[in-house]
Structure 1
């Protein structure tokens, strides 16, 4: 539907106004009458007028004078005025009319078609002008909105750039710290090897101290690399929890084993309180990793010769474990950041090493994979810290109530002599492993490939088989399958040795029939646990 526009008709005679209304009576027009200048000015102020039809000869204020008044006002300056006259005008009068603001003249009697045509032109111009103004308003509003969006985008971009610069700086700091953390243990390893090579006849106590120092540094490197690999696996969603019933005491024992080198070096003690015999449903390796990381963190940020407390509690079926230290504490503004990956909260450890900043982040992610949480509280710098691990609906029952729960299987000095077959193609790895097992009093036979290994197992019938997975000929997985297929054989305990430690790798060896999966370099305490658990 066409927009209705308003026309102002000004004439001092009513019959002339009636005639004009009759001619211009169309749906697209709204007609307003005025019989004098005052009335005309009033209607102009009250309405949005598109065009004026104005009689020149009026008593009082003439059409020329009214036109000058109208054009003198900025608001009405663009309104077209069509003069009506019953007289023939001289050129001077026409020019005076144009000077007053007229855009055209019509003489009476008016020809309707001409009037309607001229007014139609004015109406069309008015509509287009109004539409253009509305479009301009819309464009201005859109420009304002777009400007606001651009300002917001620029602000977001500034924040993103700031975050990117911070991330880039954090990356540089991480790489520098990683290089430092890797070089630190390499130095004593290299020095120790040189010392052993140059002094093959060194006193046993001196060689033992050297080897112990090298072993501690090797443990540190393995822990560092394992943490980095776990971070990568979690970020890619490749961690699969292997839940099973396990006593909290076993979890704490394994966590203490992992943290013991740091604790002993700094002469720190760990006091455990609470119902440690509680049985929980969890991945024992991963929960021990969480607690071990917390103990390592507490050791690193606590003074030497201090006590770290581990408190065990339950809330219905929820397990709550707290690791409490009296160390350097955490500033209030840093508590929310300490679980961020590669975070550095502005102070070094008491031992002088800030570390990579991945231990706590990894511990929290492992807790969340269990459906639990890991939080930290501190009264501030110098006030120590408390880390709380909560595992929802994890508690089963006290370990003492479960069948088969007796003395610990870990008997480092009391295990019996075992018949063991080692299947390993790496000469150095095989030699050192055989020497280590023989030093513990076991009878050990060595095979260099998979086929030889299967034959050796069939003929010697060992109680334990330590088998490398990446063997030439047939791999360790196939070796295990063939050993399990030996019907006449009393099945040995099968232990997979491999450099691959992802959950998919563990699942593959488990499905092949392996009883244990050890990642190289094998931690001696883990192998001792397996040896102690094997009965003859």
Structure 2
């Protein structure tokens, strides 16, 4: 490329380092970069030569960029020079307005995005190259016109000579000369003459090429047939009616080319010269698209920033609200002389708000695992009826406080599925909580299970505010709520339904929602495959039977079932009857006492929350009033959630076990077998307490978890560090090692590896605040418990260790 063809670009900055960066960014073989470190140098450069674009720093030593731009725009030669301002300040609204007021074309922040700056400079460089090319073409055309003018002069001289000899041809030559002059006076690229009748009388070769036809084909056609489009007709019409030159741009027939037309009316017709501006229009359109894309990207970034702020605000609110209640009640209870009733209320409030925080953290962690694809499933064969009944019992106190009714309609037969008990309970609770959240006082929530030939269904319907049709497609999206006010009115982060969808699909099912519109309620339907059709694990029952030594024997045992849920009574009765037990049902505590006065049973399974006489009062009447001791009849409490407070209260009242309502049929049968009084032929072997090494550095957690473990009958050796635990450990000394993962110095994982190196079959449990993932690499007897511990999970772990330690 010759030096004359290079594009001049002026970059102005008082910092040599910044100039070097700009030269590096704008390094292009087609550019000539001229640098200036002050306004005076920039003005001298502008006086010396012309530039395609000026890249100007606002902060200069002698004058600022705004003032320099104003001086440039006042000078006629540089008034149309494009200026791109650079600034290192983010808060420059006033500078931005002043800059654009001086005629700047853009305004960029330092550090400059190289791609954006190159793209913007390239647009003006290309425009400069085309402008210079057009100028050269115009100069050539002007020379051609001058040459033709000289030829015309010679022709006129010849005509004057010939006129004296050929008078009869003078008028024809003058007419032709006028037509030629009218056409030549307006020629640039394409040229044609439209006669008075609207037909084309003449077209040059360039014009024919631009219109995509031959010149002889165009001659005689009407202009509307050649150009098409109402824009051309309107432009030609303005030229005819106004009697003066008219210019316009329009898309030619076929829609591929844009033409710029200049129309000059005369006595002989309309002279039209035109040229192709398609490239310029496309460049303009591309620039508009780039601007629109930039604005859209900026809007998306602003939206994402607002969404992040709203999410953080919601998380802060949801965490701080229960935390404030906990801290407030701790302050109240720390005062001396607190009344017992106030103490009880405070403990309940602390437990309730701690549970709310735990649910929120679980939702966030669950969503994190969903996004990362690291969810783990602990699948077993479960009765969906028990899961649903337990969730309904747990939600009933909240419903009553909101003056809502919960109606439970369970399928008469067991609804067995393969599922993760905790996650399936989470699905039911999330849907119940969602239904109650959007149902006003006086409404009701209907929960039902249905067995279909192709699978089973859980349906939760409410009489609440319903769902707008336009929101239904986004109902199960993360952080999705129908309107911005929903968060402040109902609370939550909009994660519950998204988690439900993921967990249901993880079980091979699907979830859907239906609503007839606002204020007309909603129905959520969860469809799961039946146990026999489940894709999760067809052999889990066999594996469980091998691990526990087969099906527990309960044939001939007499069992009393007590529950106010008739459907659940029928389901549990059928499960136990099918295994050979003799079952009698009672729908209230009063009815159970009446039966116990007349009959004797081996085991009683009783719900805790019943209207009238509850499970606690019932067991107290059985043990104290009827004088039926645990050695004569074992008893297990059945509740929705086996929390520590529930278990402690149940054992204190007289029960020997506390079961989750969603317990599997095998666990239900095993509990009956273990609680039944020993038969004469059976000689039970005494169980020695399990010895456990427990490692935890947090004093509060160490005390709390140690108490739970001792309640399970474990004899503990407690250590604060992994080093102390390793010193206390010896193969065969302990039946179980429980260690926190995050310990000072040596971690719990390093401790586990050191212990397993000495005893590869050692039972070892990690205590962690996060899901640890696959533990298969550690060994077959390595487990993990997620803080805070679920009591039912801890009980199962201890039972597994005891079963493994039994001889034979």
Could you tell me the TM-score, scaled by structure 2's length?
Answer: 0.44
Per-residue deviation, 1:365: 3.7
The residue number in structure 1 matching 2:382 is 247
CA contact 1:276–1:312 (8 Å) conserved in 2: no
**Which of 338, 353, 363 is the aligned partner of 1:227?**
363
1-structure distance, mates of 2:205, 2:503: 70
Q: Which moved more, 1:386-395 or 1:293-302?
A: 386-395
- Corresponding position: 1:445 with 2:716: yes
CA contact (8 A) 2:417 2:529 kept: no
Structure exhibiting the larger radius of gyration computed from Cα positions: 1
Alignment check: 8 A CA contact 1:339 1:360 kept: yes
Q: Which residue of the partner structure matches residue 353 of structure 1?
A: 490
Q: Which residue of 2 aligns with 1:65?
A: 174
- Please tell me whether the aligned partners of residues 481 and 513 of structure 1 are also in contact (alpha carbons under 8 angstroms): no
SS of structure 2 residue aligned to 1:332: coil
- Aligned 8 A contact 1:243 1:281 in 2: no
Structure 2 residue aligned with 1:508: 775
Aligned 1:239-388 pairs, distance under 5 A: 239-242=374-377, 244-249=379-384, 252=388, 262-263=398-399, 266=402, 269=406, 271=408, 273-274=410-411, 277-303=414-440, 307-313=444-450, 318-346=455-483, 352-368=489-505, 372-388=509-525
Question: 1:477: Cα distance to partner?
Answer: 4.2
Contact 1:262 1:296 in 2 (8 A): no
Contact 1:318 1:395 in 2 (8 A): no
The 5 Å alignment of 1:86-235 reads 140-152=277-289, 154-155=291-292, 160-199=297-336, 202=338, 205-235=341-371
Asked if structure 1 preserves the Cα contact closer than 8 Å seen for 2:450 and 2:456, the reply is: yes
- Structure 1 stretches lacking a partner, 5+ long: 1-51, 80-125
Partner of 1:517: 784
Displacement, 1:76?
A: 9.3
Between the two proteins, the alignment pairs up a number of residues equal to 430
Q: For CA contacts below 8 A with separation 6 or more, give which structure has more relative contact order.
A: 1
Q: Does 1:433 align with 2:705?
A: yes
1:414 lines up with 2:656 in the alignment:
yes
TM superposition shift of 1:214: 0.7
* Post-superposition offset of 1:232: 3.0
**Whole-angstrom distance in 2 between the partners of 1:534 and 1:259:** 33
Are residue 467 (structure 1) and residue 739 (structure 2) matched? yes
Whole-Å separation in 1 of the counterparts to 2:366 and 2:472:
23
Determine helix, strand or coil for the equivalent of 1:507. coil
Where 1:355 maps in the other structure, the secondary structure is: coil
Q: Do the aligned partners of residues 427 and 279 (structure 1) sit closer, same or farther apart at CA in structure 2, a change above 3 Å counting?
A: same
Structure 2 residue runs of 5 or longer lacking an equivalent are 1-154, 189-203, 213-256, 260-274, 546-550, 553-575, 577-604, 606-635, 639-646, 648-654, 658-673, 675-686, 804-808
Q: Secondary structure at the match of 1:356?
A: coil
Tell me the CA shift for residue 308 of structure 1: 3.0
Q: Is the 8 A contact 1:480 1:512 kept in 2?
A: no
Of the structure 1 ranges 345-354 and 170-179, higher mean CA displacement relative to structure 2 is found in: 345-354
How far apart are the structure 1 equivalents of 2:287 and 2:424? Answer: 48
- Following superposition, the deviation at residue 288 of structure 1 comes to 3.6
C-alpha deviation, 1:224, in angstroms: 1.0
- Local SS of the residue matching 1:178: helix
Contact persistence 1:324–1:386 (CA under 8 A)? yes
Tell whether the 8 Å contact from 1:185 to 1:220 is kept in structure 2 after alignment.
yes
Structure 1 residues 338 and 217, CA gap change in structure 2 (3 angstroms)? same
CA RMSD of aligned residues (A): 4.9
What residue in structure 2 maps to residue 497 of structure 1?
767
How far did residue 150 of structure 1 move?
4.5
Specify the alignment match of 1:86 in structure 2.
Answer: none
